[in-house]
Amino acid sequence: MAQPQITADTKMGDIMDALPGARRALFARYHLGGCSSCAFSNDETLAELCLRAENLPVDEVIAHLLDSHQHDLAMLVEPVDAKTRLDSSAPPRLIDIRTREEFEAVAVPGSEFFTQELQQQLFAGDPATVVFLIDHTGRNALDMVAWFRGHGLKETYAITGGIDAWSRDVDKSLPRYRVEME
């Protein structure tokens, strides 16, 4: 995967699209983007955000974002590769972290809906268990992977692009959908 091109003039929405873990990386190091007091808009440029955030050095922030992205890539699995692993003799567990309504409307066959009980079972189980997480578009799964790994499940991965990419690249019979937010 090619390294995304980010400059001072790149809009934050474009950065969020190019680097799925960018919000987590910005919040962890600079306390940006995690709450209403440090939020940014999709139309704000990286330079504008850095200026507003006590004049952070833009080049340093770009380097941090790109380093974090390289780290995140190791926690991702492409849908086609995930399908191959799921069809193997020792398949990973496929955990769906979307809402119950989304899961009940459309789900990857064999996936398990993420509940509190399943979480407790996973965290108390074998730390070598391989787990694939799937969400709608891949935006939330990467953060959940970091959380799972932080709880000892070091072999947890996010399916790139979520169920939307799965329905495009693996199983075209699964309907694609959009979530409307009010």
Q: Give 97-137 pLDDT, tens digit per residue.
A: 999 999 999 999 999 999 999 999 999 999 999 999 999 99
127 and 148 share a domain?
A: yes
Distance CA 95, CA 156 (A): 10
As beta bridge partners, residue 132 has 94, 157
With a cut of 80, say whether residue 95 has pLDDT above it. Answer: yes
Distance of alpha carbon 134 from alpha carbon 144, whole angstroms: 10
182 lies in some domain: no
Query: How does DSSP classify residue 37?
Result: G
- Confidence at residue 3, expressed as pLDDT on a 0 to 100 scale: 76
How does pLDDT run across 22-60, given as a tens digit for each residue?
998 999 999 998 788 889 999 999 999 999 999 999 999
The CATH number of residue 136's host domain is 3.40.250.10
Residue 101 lies in a domain: yes
Residue finishing a domain among 73, 102, 120: 73
- Report pLDDT for 29: 94
C-beta of residue 34 within 8 angstroms of C-beta of residue 27:
yes
**Do both 81 and 160 map to the same domain?**
yes
How many Cα atoms are found within 13 Å in the side-chain-facing hemisphere of 96? 20
| Residue 160 lies in domain | 76-169
Identify whether the C-beta of residue 174 lies closer than 8 Å to the C-beta of residue 108: yes
What's the CA gap between 128 and 115, in Å, rounded?
20
Same domain as 157, residue 81: yes
Residue 28 counted as domain residue: yes
Grade residue 182 by pLDDT with cuts at 50, 70 and 90.
very low
Q: Are residues 67 and 86 in the same domain?
A: no
